């Protein structure tokens, strides 16, 4: 592991990355990297060599740098090794052409088209449905006095929400939930299960899109996101059928594990900070919504879902934070490290739910800025507020040391979150 030392006298050896301890708490390692090796070349567990960018200023600059491409064709690896870095299984399922893998001008065209269908208005109109889904899930365990908030709450919520938004019929939603579950259960493990799940999702979406295209214009049949995407393609510009499939797939994938972890990590952080949580609960009881929105942004900064899922490939030799990067090298912007940079945030290791100056990078930055941010905010705020309101004495049912974090590196989140509370109606 080569280290770019910035401190004369030597800072000691670089911390070991990608261990069990790192998955549990990566922040001390990130602090070391930010200070001593802010642009650090390392070998990922997949065997791919990549640069990790950990300082806020470098991260923000890299995310917006047009010389850093999202397209894996620029990865300087034999073709068979490429694609290890994108969404699992997408290559074998023919799903490579989507927003997270392409650059302008294709990206500009696709993003403009999807933005026509995935509007803030559509998301705002969806609010009662997210509330209903949230309440239904809580109803499933409220009377029991205990629950695993990952499996029974944070996991199903975003998948049902995005299925509804896309227009997946209710009778098919459990299938999608199970396939999506296979994708993350197997994440980092054997690839076979992931590839099978991705193929099933792909096949299902292709058929659904085809059906919706046939029914377009029929009464009540086209007030959903898939129909919106098909229609957007019919207005002069084009989304091919394959592009609609890939778009729906990325909406499912990009919005799924991220939101699970926003809710899971967020609730865990709240349970670890009882005073701040009590203040938030008081403001919720008083019917205030401002503090909730500010709090959820801080939860994203403090322990956000996306750790390193921000692949870029250098299309030419360039310099980041004084470090030369060769053309073809992969670059991973470590959002979780950038968002704890003391050069940018006052007392970054402190959770401050009322933090004002909070331009975190949790949703990225630049042209690939999260398209689903309004939906993620709606889901995150509704989930956290409703749970705290309905189960006010929610507490962890196990010792902190018994919690297991997924060592996915790309996403940061808990495997389970067992809680107890006074049983409620
Ligand atoms: C892009 C984070 C939820 C859809 C991104 C990126 C980040 C991110 C960091 C940029 C990646 C990069 O620059 O390489 C998050 C977080 C979420 C969340 C933290 C939840 C808390 C969602 C949801 C959806 C979604 C709910 C959709 C339903 C997308 C899409 C992109 C994206 C389509 C690609 C945009 C583009 O390349 O133009 N997200 N996301 N995300 N996100 Fe999210």
| ipTM score of complex | 0.98
Residue 12 inside a domain? The answer is: no
Ligand 1 pocket mutation, candidates 61, 123, 252, 363, criterion most atoms within 8 A of CB: 363
Measured CA to CA in angstroms, residue 164 lies from 188, 257, 282 at distances of: 28, 17, 32
What is the percentage of the chain residues whose pLDDT exceeds 90? 65
Query: Structural domain tally of the chain?
Result: 1
For the cut 50, the answer to whether the pLDDT of residue 128 exceeds it is yes
Which residue minimizes the CA distance to atom 11 of ligand 1? 310
Tell me, what CATH number does 319's domain have? 1.10.630.10
Residue 25 inside a domain? The answer is: yes
For the cut 80, the answer to whether the pLDDT of residue 364 exceeds it is yes
For CA atoms 223, 228, 234, 236, the dihedral sign is: positive
Can you tell me the mean pLDDT for 257-272? 96
Atom of ligand 1 nearest to the CA of 110: 38
pLDDT of residue 400: 93
Residue 8 inside a domain? The answer is: no
Residue 175 inside a domain? The answer is: yes
Closest CA to 424 of 396, 386, 397: 386
Q: Where does the pLDDT of residue 330 fall: very low under 50, low under 70, confident under 90, or very high at 90 and above? A: very high
Atom of ligand 1 nearest to the CA of 63: 13
Q: Which of 231-240, 245-254, 326-335 reaches the highest mean pLDDT?
A: 326-335
C-alpha–C-alpha distance, residues 366 and 168, integer Å: 31
Q: Tell me the two tokens of residue 78.
A: 């034999």
Residue 354 inside a domain? The answer is: yes
- The SS3 assignment for 361 reads coil
Residue 9 inside a domain? The answer is: no
Closest CA to 403 of 285, 311, 271, 247: 271
Which residue minimizes the CA distance to atom 26 of ligand 1? 255
Phi, psi of 7 (to 5 degrees): -105, 115
Q: Tell me the two tokens of residue 412.
A: 């940061």
- Residue located via tokens 């002069």: 236
Residue 425 inside a domain? The answer is: no
Q: Which domain holds residue 150?
A: 20-420
- Tens-digit pLDDT profile for residues 9-61: 567 788 999 888 999 999 999 999 999 999 999 998 888 899 999 999 999 99
Output the CA angle 338-343-348, nearest 5 degrees.
Answer: 65
- What residues are in contact with ligand 1 under a 6 Å CB criterion? 63, 99-100, 111, 162, 250-251, 254-255, 258-259, 262, 304-306, 310, 335, 362-364, 368, 370-372, 375-376, 380
Can you tell me the mean pLDDT for 122-128? 93
Q: Which residue has the higher pLDDT, 236 or 63?
A: 63
pLDDT of residue 84: 52
Closest CA to 134 of 298, 380, 417: 380
pLDDT of residue 195: 81
CB atoms within 10 A of CB 121: 8
């Amino acid at each position: 592991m080569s280290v770019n030392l910035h401190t004369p006298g030597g800072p000691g050896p670089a911390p070991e990355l990608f261990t069990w301890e790192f998955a549990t708490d990566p922040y001390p390692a990130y602090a070391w990297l930010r200070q001593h090796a802010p642009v650090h070349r390392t070998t990922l567990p997949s065997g791919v060599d990549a640069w990790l960018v950990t300082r806020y200023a470098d991260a923000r600059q890299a995310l917006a740098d047009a010389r850093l491409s999202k397209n894996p064709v620029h990865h300087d690896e034999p073709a068979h090794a490429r694609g290890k870095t994108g969404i699992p299984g997408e290559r074998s399922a023919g799903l490579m052409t989507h927003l997270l893998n392409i650059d302008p001008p294709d990206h500009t065209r696709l993003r403009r088209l999807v933005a026509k269908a995935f509007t803030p208005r559509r998301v705002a109109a969806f609010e009662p449905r997210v509330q209903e889904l949230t309440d239904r899930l809580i109803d499933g365990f409220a009377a029991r006095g205990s629950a695993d908030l990952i499996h029974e709450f944070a996991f199903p919520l975003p998948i049902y929400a995005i299925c509804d938004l896309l227009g997946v019929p209710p009778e098919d939603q459990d299938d999608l939930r199970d396939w999506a579950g296979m994708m993350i259960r197997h994440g980092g493990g054997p690839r076979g299960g992931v590839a099978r799940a991705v193929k099933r999702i792909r096949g299902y979406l292709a058929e659904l899109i085809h059906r919706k295209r046939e029914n377009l214009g029929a009464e009540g049949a086209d007030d959903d996101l898939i129909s919106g995407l098909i229609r957007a393609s019919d207005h002069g510009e084009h989304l091919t059928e394959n592009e609609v499939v890939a778009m729906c797939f990325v909406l499912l994938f990009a919005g799924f594990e991220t939101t699970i972890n926003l809710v899971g990590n967020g609730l865990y952080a709240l349970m670890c900070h009882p005073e701040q949580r009590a203040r938030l609960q008081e403001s919720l009881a008083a019917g205030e919504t401002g503090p909730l929105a500010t709090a959820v942004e801080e939860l994203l900064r403090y322990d956000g879902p996306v750790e390193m899922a921000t692949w870029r490939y250098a299309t030419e030799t360039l310099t980041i934070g004084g470090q030369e990067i060769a053309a073809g090298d992969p670059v991973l912007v470590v959002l979780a490290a950038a968002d704890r940079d003391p050069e940018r945030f006052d007392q970054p290791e402190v959770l401050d739910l009322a933090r004002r100056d909070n331009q975190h990078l949790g949703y990225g930055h630049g042209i690939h800025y999260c398209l689903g941010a309004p939906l993620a905010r709606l889901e995150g705020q509704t989930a956290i507020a409703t749970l705290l309101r309905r189960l006010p004495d929610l507490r962890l049912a196990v010792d902190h040391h018994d919690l297991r974090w997924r060592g996915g590196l790309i996403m940061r989140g808990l495997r389970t979150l067992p809680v107890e509370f006074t049983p409620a109606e």
